[in-house]
Amino acid sequence: MIRLPALPAPAPVELARRLQQQFAEWAPETFASAAYPQREMDAIRQAGLLHITLPGEALDLRHSNTPALLQLLRYIGQGNLSVGRIYEGHVNALQLIAVYGTPAQQQRWFADARAGHLFGVWNTEMQDGIHLDRQRTGKVRIRGSKSFCSGSVHVTRPIVPGVLHDSKGRALGWQMAIVPLDRHDPPVDKSFWTPLGMRNSVSHKIDFTGILLEPTDLLGHPGDYNRQPYLSGGAIRFAAVHLGGAAAVLEAIREYIRQLKRTEDCYHRSRVGQMAILVESGNQWLERSGRLTDQSSDTDEIIYYANMTRTAIASICTDCLRLAEHSAGARGMLHPYALPRLHADLTMYLRQPAPDAALEAVGKHYLDDHPTH
């Protein structure tokens, strides 16, 4: 989709930079709580970031604002990766509504976002996944559960895709539905969420069985969720949050080396130099892929670049973690230093869908389709 020129000066990026500093201050306490990051999400709400990508707002995604959005996500992730994960889900959901919602649905759900409702996208599931059974009345009854529901029941408008069945039980395909979770009290399996890091993302397992939806709660048509370039192209958003994690690791190691008065050491300097180059190259990946997303109408090119960006940034993050470990030594990996906390969160959050397939797709595209450089 070709987008219109960008609106003037995206102040939200500056806002996100300030939030990042606040979140970084709160981070040790938030991490220790292992709970939903209420303070941080309230700050995001108060700063107006829940509706910043909606039509007419500063990062209106009909305009060429993707590079600014990616910077914003990077700053939020730098402040707190769990907050970045939850907020990225919100932005993703609003974009899916912008692409697939009817005008009436857009009006309703955008008003909900302005009123402070938190959205999310909960697609991942296990064997007991979601079925959406259409009743003779036209209403839709949900069967099944979702795993990795980031934000848990604090997300009052999650997109919950599942297999849609007509009233005769025939499967029609993978259908998105938005569940008004503030009107329901589904069983939440918190015991599912025993992760290495990212505990504050409260990515619980939730059983939606029995919830009855209105026909107008279904978003788009069967198969829309998997349509390209939106599905694979959206990976640049979580890559932006990941890069924020790497930037936080770099900051943490700088503080640590300064505290120990080891800034004169040439090995530390070299490692920090390497990390600074890595993070800056990640910024360049984001800038380029953001511009390409806004300017290209070539689905294959957008996917190709998004797959490269997420793969490059994942390895940037892994390299930064390795270099930081080396400089921190055992002492620097003890709480309450920042590195063990950031390390656990970033290592966990780097586990995103189909990394092997994304890299293979880059190679396949390069071999088969002669991309331009």
Question: In the complex, which residues of this chain contact ligand FAD (CB under 6 A)?
Answer: 85, 89, 120-124, 148-150, 198, 201, 203, 348-349, 351-356
Query: 27, exposed or middle or buried, with CB in 10 Å at 0-12, 13-18, 19+?
Result: buried
In the bound state with ligand FAD, the residue whose beta carbon lies nearer, of 98 and 344, is 344
Give SS3 for 27: helix
In the bound state with ligand FAD, the residue whose beta carbon lies nearer, of 7 and 344, is 344
Rounded Cα gap, residues 104 and 119, in angstroms: 17
In the bound state with ligand FAD, the residue whose beta carbon lies nearer, of 111 and 354, is 354
**240 — phi, psi (to 5°)?**
-65, -40
User: Shortest distance, CB of residue 350 to ligand FAD, whole angstroms?
Assistant: 8
- Give me the sign of the Cα torsion angle 73, 75, 80, 83: negative
User: Shortest distance, CB of residue 354 to ligand FAD, whole angstroms?
Assistant: 5
User: Shortest distance, CB of residue 161 to ligand FAD, whole angstroms?
Assistant: 9
User: Shortest distance, CB of residue 345 to ligand FAD, whole angstroms?
Assistant: 8
Amino acid identity at 80: N
272 with 327: CB under 8 angstroms?
Answer: yes
User: Shortest distance, CB of residue 73 to ligand FAD, whole angstroms?
Assistant: 15
User: Shortest distance, CB of residue 120 to ligand FAD, whole angstroms?
Assistant: 6
In the bound state with ligand FAD, the residue whose beta carbon lies nearer, of 134 and 204, is 204
User: Shortest distance, CB of residue 121 to ligand FAD, whole angstroms?
Assistant: 6
**Which one-letter DSSP state was computed for residue 174?**
E
In the bound state with ligand FAD, the residue whose beta carbon lies nearer, of 89 and 340, is 89
In the bound state with ligand FAD, the residue whose beta carbon lies nearer, of 44 and 149, is 149
In the bound state with ligand FAD, the residue whose beta carbon lies nearer, of 67 and 120, is 120
Give SS3 for 172: strand
How would you list the strands of the sheet with 145-149, edge to edge?
145-149, 204-207, 188-189
User: Shortest distance, CB of residue 324 to ligand FAD, whole angstroms?
Assistant: 20
Bridge partners, 141 (sequence order): 133, 212
32 with 82: CB under 8 angstroms?
Answer: no
Angle at Cα 91 formed by Cα 89 and Cα 93, nearest 5°?
70
In the bound state with ligand FAD, the residue whose beta carbon lies nearer, of 65 and 82, is 82
Rounded Cα gap, residues 27 and 46, in angstroms: 19
Tell me the two tokens of residue 14: 């500056």
Rounded Cα gap, residues 373 and 363, in angstroms: 14
* CB within 8 Å of 332: residues ≥ 6 apart: 253, 256, 339
